[in-house]
Amino acid sequence: MTFKFAVDDAKSWKSSIDAIVNLIDEGNLEVGKDGITLRAMDPSQIAMISFSMPKGAFIEYSVAATARLGLNFDSLSKILGRTRGSETLEVSGEENKLVLRFASGKRKRSFKVPLLDLPAGAQKEPSIQHDATVKINGGQFKETLRDAALVSSHVSLEAGTEGFIVEVHGDSGDLKVESEKESEEIVEIKASGSSKATFPLQYLEDIVKACPDSSVLSIHLKSNAPVKIEYEVGSSKLSYYLAPRIDSD
């Protein structure tokens, strides 16, 4: 297992890892010649994450052969949370451990994290022809989900040629947020017709939690089909899929 990569800002790498740990606790990072990737299902098998970070995002990147690193991302995130100031981070392999070296000036710290023997993750992303794509301000969408949490545990997303609607119905009341195509939080809407599906709120919150408030979040919808949500954290690209709730009536 011969690889080494480094970033000039350890905090930025923590942000990327947090985008993973918000959905899954454990998984395999694939360290290849072109960069780092991960594809995995959450334990309930209703959500999927696809993560990629190109080699150009690193100040140093050396990989002799593709390595699969089984990691507990919760533990890794906690270690990365201990970064101080503007530390650099170097990551390498040593026998069955991942070595994390933090450095600032003449001060260095290193952690060793056990590598886990985990089953392979999801092999490929779902092939879905979505009918609508909404590009929206990430911070605004997170605020809408916070409003939705006051009402119910499920959220309906609807997109069409005229705008984007978030609708929630619960025992304590109802919520409807309508954003016209020209609304300031909407960057772009492309739709061939109306698409609507209902999703568990907690999963949506976990999926978008790591999206920077100022970033653009893309929501791809098709009626009663898995939603695809995409955004970037620094140089990392995230794609998530979440299965809808299908009403039996």
CATH code where residue 192 lies: 3.70.10.10
Ramachandran class of 95: left when φ > 0, alpha when ψ lies in -120 to 50, beta otherwise: left
Are residues 105 and 70 part of one domain? yes
Answer whether residue 15 is part of any domain. yes
Let me know: does 219 contact 62? Beta carbons within 8 Å: no
Answer whether residue 201 is part of any domain. yes
Looking at the 3D structure of the chain, how many domains does it have? 2
> Which are the contacts of 235, defined by CB distance < 8 A and separation ≥ 6?
53, 54, 56, 57
Confidence of residue 122 (pLDDT cuts 50, 70, 90): low
Whether 123 shows a pLDDT value over 80: the answer reads no
More confident call, 119 vs 224: 224
Supply the DSSP symbol for 76. Answer: H
Mean pLDDT of 122-140: 91
How many Å apart are CA 164 and CA 195, to the nearest integer?
Answer: 10
Mean pLDDT of 94-114: 94
Domain of 29 in residue numbering reads as 3-114
How many Å apart are CA 115 and CA 231, to the nearest integer?
Answer: 28
Please write the tens of the pLDDT for every residue from 75-98. Answer: 999 999 999 878 999 999 998 999
How many Å apart are CA 107 and CA 84, to the nearest integer?
Answer: 11
Are residues 171 and 91 part of one domain? no
Checking DSSP bridges between strand 47-54 and strand 35-41, what pairing results, if any? antiparallel
Are residues 236 and 175 part of one domain? yes
> Which are the contacts of 245, defined by CB distance < 8 A and separation ≥ 6?
154, 198, 199, 200
Indicate whether this model's pTM tops 0.75.
yes
Lowest mean pLDDT among 8-17, 113-122, 139-148: 113-122
Confidence of residue 219 (pLDDT cuts 50, 70, 90): very high
Percent of the chain at pLDDT > 70 equals 97
Are residues 32 and 91 part of one domain? yes
Confidence of residue 125 (pLDDT cuts 50, 70, 90): confident
